[in-house]
Chain A
Amino acid sequence: GEDVEQSLFLSVREGDSSVINCTYTDSSSTYLYWYKQEPGAGLQLLTYIFSNMDMKQDQRLTVLLNKKDKHLSLRIADTQTGDSAIYFCAEGTYKYIFGTGTRLKVLA
């Protein structure tokens, strides 16, 4: 089957905005998710968006959903060094399919 695609790497300066993109495959997913994984750790749920929404904002995080193009993005405002991690998008209901992951590096 097709992979859920993400760009592999993103580097930003502290204080700038980060935008992480995801192209998903399953248009029947009720929710789409963003998880953060720090080195050696499990997955931390950051946010999720209901499939009938276009946008969701949660403090520094903004999620945009384009269902026509099956494109999901996560914008992190005022990126901090603590945001350095791998970010995974995920689709599915009980069976999650994760994206390939984007490693975000924040430069001080």
Chain B
Amino acid sequence: DTEVTQTPKHLVMGMTNKKSLKCEQHMGHRAMYWYKQKAKKPPELMFVYSYEKLSINESVPSRFSPECPNSSLLNLHLHALQPEDSALYLCASSQVPTETQYFGPGTRLLVL
């Protein structure tokens, strides 16, 4: 089983809203990732968590706040987003940070 689940599937929010994206895996993977994908572009790495600790932040604005409450769960808290933040947000996990990454179906976010 190589399933990564993400909720919600779609999200519409205003620029003053606070919302959260959720990602879950039960494969015992110890590395989890957030990527952002704009239309017709490849995914771009945002954050890497390794053994529940943030190991990479690709200079992401502070209006995006990741959280890893346990080894199976990864959240992305959103606050005061801009319309240009509208994108597909993909979560991935891997056994350890150097191993193959498996992706979830993504959350399509629209910021109005």
Q: Report A's interface with B, CB cutoff 8 A.
A: 30-31, 33, 35, 40-45, 48, 88, 93-96, 98-101
Using known A-B contacts A35-B103, A42-B106, A43-B103, determine if residue A94 contacts B90 with beta carbons closer than 8 Å: no
State whether A95 touches B45 (Cβ < 8 A): yes
Complex: chain A residue closest to B107, CB-CB: A42
Residues of B within 8 A of A95 (CB): 45, 48, 56
CA–CA, A42 and B106, complex, Å:
6
State whether B45 touches A45 (Cβ < 8 A): no
Residues of B within 8 A of A41 (CB): 105-106
Does B43 reach chain A (CB closer than 8 Å)? yes
CA–CA, A48 and B106, complex, Å:
22
The listed residue (A40, A42, A45, A93) touching B98 by CB distance below 8 A is A93
Chain B contact residue count (CB 8 A cutoff): 27
Min CB distance B105 to A, Å, is 4
State whether B90 touches A42 (Cβ < 8 A): yes
Residues of B within 8 A of A99 (CB): 42
State whether B100 touches A45 (Cβ < 8 A): yes
Using known A-B contacts A94-B31, A94-B48, determine if residue A30 contacts B98 with beta carbons closer than 8 Å: yes
Query: When each residue 99-112 of chain B gets 1 if its CB lies under 8 Å from chain A and 0 otherwise, what string results?
Result: 01111111010000
Residues of B within 8 A of A94 (CB): 31, 48, 50, 55-56, 94, 97-98
Query: When each residue 72-112 of chain B gets 1 if its CB lies under 8 Å from chain A and 0 otherwise, what string results?
Result: 00000000000000000010101001101111111010000
Query: When each residue 1-37 of chain B gets 1 if its CB lies under 8 Å from chain A and 0 otherwise, what string results?
Result: 0101010000000000000000000000001000000
State whether B105 touches A42 (Cβ < 8 A): yes
CB-defined A-B contacts under 8 Å, sample of 9: A42-B4, A42-B6, A42-B104, A43-B43, A45-B2, A93-B98, A95-B45, A98-B44, A99-B42
